[in-house]
Chain A
Amino acid sequence: MNRRRVVITGMGTVTPHADDVDRLFAQLCEGVSAVDRITQFDPEGLPAQIAAEVRYAVDGPSQVGPYACTSRTMQFVTAAAQRTLADAGLDGDLASDDPERGRRAVHLSSGVGSTAMEALGPLTLGVWGSPDSDAKRDLVALRRAIASHPEAAHLVEDWFCDFAAPALAVMFGADRVSTAASACASGSHAIMDAVHMIQLGKADRVLTGGVCTPVTRSMMPGFAMLSALSTRNDDPPAASRPFDADRNGFIMGEGSSLIVLEDLDAAQARGARIHGEILGVGIATDSYRLTDPEPTGRGMGEAMRRALKDAGLGPADVHYINAHGTSTKLNDAAETKAVKASFGEHAASIPMSSSKSMFGHLIHAAGITEAIVCTKTIQDGVITPTINQVTADPDCDLDYVPNVARQSNVQVAMNNSFGFGGQNVSVIIGAYDGSRA
């Protein structure tokens, strides 16, 4: 039996560039960087003082069912969902007993929320006194204070991010919900899981994507301690430079992107507009180290090869790769090796660009945002560039579409996402071909 075909019928986003897919893509085509000095707090004195923040007011719901949309995470994800469902034509309400609910699902990738620990600050003053005090900080007293302030639970809810997917389920009228995280691979992982839900017949329509709001007082220095972030504070737009010899780390970004994936027959039955098709997915794990990619790119390459196999395609069939391309020394070199190993003689001729050069690393929302970029690339026939390509790195010698967008008839695009912890996912997106069996 032929497996069910899965198509993209809705896209929506809240990214540092814009909360509109077309405007986001237009700015990427122009090579506009969204990286700048952090505004959510004063980062003076921190190693990394720059990020790709959402610097505009996000228009979205303030309450969804029982869930308040007050945190940055909830604001972003529900606003992105609103736009995605509108784009898909699925923003109408379903009756509570509508059997359609049983055919809908939400699968979200999310991670650490915005400011959980900071929100516990007021309690610490009452318990421990002046922050300059040398007195021993009494843990038991803190616990008792928290226990006597039940509202403290609400302060840490942001940490858990466990209301985001349920809120989307309420908006979408879905009877199934899951939340998952595989670090920086999460967004693509969400696509893969959603595709499999549809292929196995467990759902006809899945709202899937990711959200991440890590530009916080604690996470920024924390990632800097891992030597993961760029410290090019004096020139923010030039800081994210994947594959360039002078790259020195990634740029933290924030945002949320979502797509609606549908069984092709179900989409056609309701007359949905089809943006593109998921042709194949591949996953592999390094099982190597927590922070570093396996240096030969074994896991990355395996994910790409598995995606090609799943799609029934060969290396010559891929017209564009949206790279994971974080701008770290290790990742970009390993990804380059992995592409060469997977695509062989074709590697040098396949354009491969990194959107992270412009909107930084959206972590749990990265893979899905870049899948949207791939889909727009196919729709508009323009490959977005990798900006800040100035000095060639001998270890990174592929065609990274340097600095300027390129017109190209892209019918098949691969999106790569590789996570801290060694989880690697590749997704292949194609133009929708109605004549294909």
Chain B
Amino acid sequence: MTVTAQAGLLILLQTLVVLAFAPLLLGLMRQLRARLEGRAGPGVWQPWRDLRKLAGKSTLRAPGTHLAGVMPLVLTGTSLLLVALLPLLGTATLPWVPDDLFVVVSVLLLGTVAIALLGIDTGTAFGGMGASRHMTIAALVEPTVLVAVYALSIPSGTSSLSGIITARIDHPASVVSPISLLALVALVIVVVAETGRLPVDNPATHLELTMVHEAMILESSGRDLGWVEYASWLRLTALLGLVMNLAAPWGIAQQVSPLSLAVALLALLVKLTFAAVTLSLVEVFLAKLRLFRVPELMAGSFVLAFLAVTASYLVA
């Protein structure tokens, strides 16, 4: 098989796996939270059932909205692109589709803007409020993502994500270096903010004071809601996969062969489960931050990432 075909196969496989696993991941998180909070919980397959239910419902759109039908599709598109680009299963890439850091951040931002537009387009107070909060957080999150991954990329000399991960596999010492730890802490905070989990946003609440993501999709229904929800789950899975692969890069497939793919699949599932469990535990034990303290947290993570960058210049 040619390199291109190999990469194509890898991407296809990666996308299928994540498409299948994302709702399951979320179901796992919700079930674990429920159990920890003393509830019975809806079961790990509930998100799939929710999707089936939403697919069958009629879609209500307010008259005069043009984007309500389009934006969910745009969001889903960006999420799919993210899943395809990020090195989740393997580090082989298509030569004309770079998994460069800047491309990934741009795709993330595109998704962010899409959902914000969706919120504003409904014309309701909640939508606008949610969109403005969402964009404030995004404005602080994007620089941090760039700087944190840049800090991780300095030892490898390339800004391609798969290149960074390959370099980290080759030099195990760089994985546990203090710089890497600083950058990863910053990245974790950022992923939490980007995907709207506690302590930045509470995905289970619909109160005005505490909504960010939920406020923007409050007016969506039926298929639109289905697309948006699915796209958010895909984003969460993809970003969690990225962070886990950066933190513990072993197991990822560096060449395309049945054995390495099987190992990579297993490793990915284990890592994702670990991340989901940890996130659930953290969510149960942390309270949501007040909105005006969120910039503080973001600034703190930015400074941590910045320190990681400067420190790596000092030691180099």
Decide whether A and B are members of one complex.
Answer: no
A: residues with CB less than 8 A from B are: none
